[in-house]
Amino acid sequence: MYNDVHVAARESEDHKYTMRISRLAIDKLGIRLYDRVSAVLAELIANGYDADATEVNVQLPWGVTLAGTIRAADEPAYRIVVSDNGHGMTAAEVNAHYLMVGSDRRVRTGSDLSRERTRPVMGRKGIGKLAAFGICRTIEVITAGSHSGDRTPQGWPVAHLVMDLDDMLSDTERDYFPKTGALDGTFAADRGTTVILSNFFRKRVNSGTELSRQLAARFGIERSDWRVLVRNSIGSESFLLSDLAIDVMEETRVDVGRVPVRFGRQFLPVTGWIAYSKQPYRDDAMAGVRIYARGKIVAQTRDFGIPAGFTGEFKLRSYLVGAIHVDWLDDDEDMVRSDRQDIMWNSPRGEALAEWGRALIKEIGRLGEKSIRRRVWEEFVERSRIHELLESIAPGDRMFRDSVLDAARILVAHKDRSSMDDPSHIENMMRLALSLGPQRSLLETLKEIADEEGDPGLDVVVALFERARVAEIYSLGQIASERVAVVDRLRDLIDDRRSLERPFQELIERAPWLLAPEWTPLGMNESLKRVRSSFERWYAQKFGTALLTTAIGSERREPDFVLLHDSGELWIVEIKRMDYHLTDEEYNRAVNYLYELDRFLEENPRIGAQFPRRRLTFIVDHIDRLGPASLSSLFSDQRVDRRTWRELLDATLRAHRDFLDRVYSMRGAQDEPPGVERAG
């Protein structure tokens, strides 16, 4: 008994700070829940807000991978530093509150308002402090404060501790004792807290623009006493955290404050707005309706779980945007998930909110569908100059012009505004309209002739056929047949599980729309050839090894990757044979090529300006041999994704089914070429 007390007393003397938490909880609550840099920053910024800070300063390197890349030996390691001028903590408070993980802050302090500015606090579950362990192994905390009575003649007492994930997980049962930092026990002139992250996992930091959007999406705070400045630690750029700017169709905007949520006999308040955006957003931070509680995002939804079959459904999931504030989600009855990335929709209040949201977006769907169609048609008319074209080729044939316009309206009806940014896509729709329009005109005119009494005469019918340009109709069949043939070839390669990389590569280089159906294929044009050649020479000079960016035209060498591009985008596509298992070495090589491509375009800004967007896609069936670092990188880096071959085929079939069905229904079922059923 004496020995136990003696050991405990000695440990108390040796270790000033103590954390009592299950190591399993650290793994589950820190590493597993927060694997993106923006999510970690949001937690650290929220801590400053709850500590009554008026200023939060964030410094981190933009547009880099925090670990896993080759860096010069004399380059300092990356760090992320988040500082605030909040009330800070004493050493006793660090132990009682900061290192007390998992206790309800509001129960522990007896209030859900901040100490000095009476802000509704965001923190509750006491696990956000572990968020940084999702991206790094070392967290350093320097804090000075806290109450006015804690100030001494020398200044505010400083608590300084360093937490190391590897040490923390080395013993799963005993208390963890963070190391005492060099500044511990000193004094500071001002209150506040600084958190320093280092020793990172392989995590990607987005560009300043992307980071600004992601952080803006996570907060819905409008206060004059709150300012967050984010600086690039390897450059001079910076931005202030602000509202997320989204261009919306004002005629579709709905103020949700006028429609409270019905819950039994109660009406629960909601504020904010929902609308349709002017263009479809594929950026996760901007798409969908963001739901905030106490100024911090708690969920994001594109449809509130609405079932299919309502007006405007086709555009809903691409155009619906909004920001609503539902503070009762985080009141006495906590309905927010531990990672604060979603709410408990299956709870009674969650179901009431979902039902409210579904009713609201049906209304917006009706408004939005009409607005989108009108705007897309107006842009198509402006960019295609269809009226001028028709007037020039058929000045005296109003029926022909009207039939082409009708065909164009059908083809444009289900397009989104982004497709209007592609001149070749507009040109293709013009060709289709010119082919389909005369056919519609022809059928209607033949019907009129058949209804007339008497024989119209052969010369009348021949002239009619000539005017309707029936021959052009076959160009439509050619386009459809070519796409069907490519899809059939892809299916055959996939069904033959022995298929190697080269036939896949040749097929995709010939038809890159397999990867993205809306693309205009520019895979082998002269501009891309010049970029490839220049990049290969630059790489060889810089690293002393040859790099091949395409195997087309080279019989003896397999490519390291395939480089394709659409307007403004360079796309690396790493292709593997059927049933292949991707390795860490192959994954890291391809990712490093992406980063070297970034560096090349940054060093050559005139070329880089042509391609502001770059990404990497792995087409491989299995990733079970990737280690934890590679898997984490794959899932967290938004510029990197992976698809299986069958997923690629399924996406292609779904993307083209509507196109093929519409084409053949307008041409007539009897004209369908062989193989259509397979492709559909």
Give residue 1's pLDDT.
46
pLDDT surpasses 90 at 342: no
Mean pLDDT value across the chain: 76
Q: Which residues contact 408 (CB under 8 A, 6 or more apart)?
A: 380, 384, 386, 429, 430, 433, 437
Highest average pLDDT, of 269-273, 374-378, 493-497, 659-663, comes from 269-273
Instruction: Say if strands 156-164 and 640-643 run parallel, antiparallel, or are unpaired.
Output: unpaired
Q: Which residues contact 576 (CB under 8 A, 6 or more apart)?
A: 501, 582, 586, 618, 619, 620, 621
Give residue 376's pLDDT.
83
The tens digit of pLDDT for each residue in 622-656 reads 999 988 888 888 888 888 889 898 888 887 776 66
Give residue 460's pLDDT.
55
Residue 7 or 498, more confident: 498
Q: What is the dihedral of CA 589, 593, 596, 601, to 10 degrees?
A: -170
Give residue 553's pLDDT.
42
CA distance linking residue 618 with residue 576, whole number of Å: 8
Task: Tell me how far CA of residue 238 lies from CA of 211, 212, 233, 422, 605, in angstroms.
Answer: 11, 9, 9, 33, 21
Give residue 184's pLDDT.
93
The tens digit of pLDDT for each residue in 345-362 reads 888 888 999 899 888 887
Gyration radius (Cα) of the chain, Å: 31
pTM, whole model, 2 decimals?
0.57
The tens digit of pLDDT for each residue in 441-470 reads 555 655 555 555 444 555 555 555 554 444
Give residue 252's pLDDT.
81
CA distance linking residue 585 with residue 319, whole number of Å: 39
One-letter amino acid of 492: D
Rounded mean pLDDT, 179-189: 94
* Number of Cβ within a 10 Å radius of residue 91: 18
Residue 244 or 563, more confident: 244
Q: For residue 678, what pLDDT band results from cuts at 50, 70 and 90?
A: very low
Give the rounded percent of residues in the chain with a pLDDT score beyond 90.
15
Residue 354 or 168, more confident: 354
Give residue 216's pLDDT.
86
Q: DSSP for 469-503, please give it.
A: TGGGHHHHHHHHHHHHHHHHHHHHHHHSTT--HHH
Query: Domains of the chain by range and CATH?
Result: 14-240 (3.30.565.10), 250-368 (3.30.230), 385-468 (no CATH), 499-643 (no CATH)
CA distance linking residue 492 with residue 486, whole number of Å: 10
- 565 backbone φψ class: left, alpha, beta (φ>0; ψ -120 to 50): beta
Handedness of CA 188, 194, 195, 199 (dihedral sign): negative
| Crossing angle (nearest 10°) for helices 386-393 and 348-384 | 40
Rounded mean pLDDT, 497-519: 71
Rounded mean pLDDT, 401-429: 76
Give residue 119's pLDDT.
84
Contact 148, 124 (CB under 8 A): no
> 672: which DSSP letter?
P
- 36 backbone φψ class: left, alpha, beta (φ>0; ψ -120 to 50): beta
Give residue 397's pLDDT.
74
| Crossing angle (nearest 10°) for helices 37-50 and 208-218 | 50
The tens digit of pLDDT for each residue in 307-321 reads 766 555 656 777 788
Can you point out the beta strands (E) in 456-605?
A: 562-566, 569-575
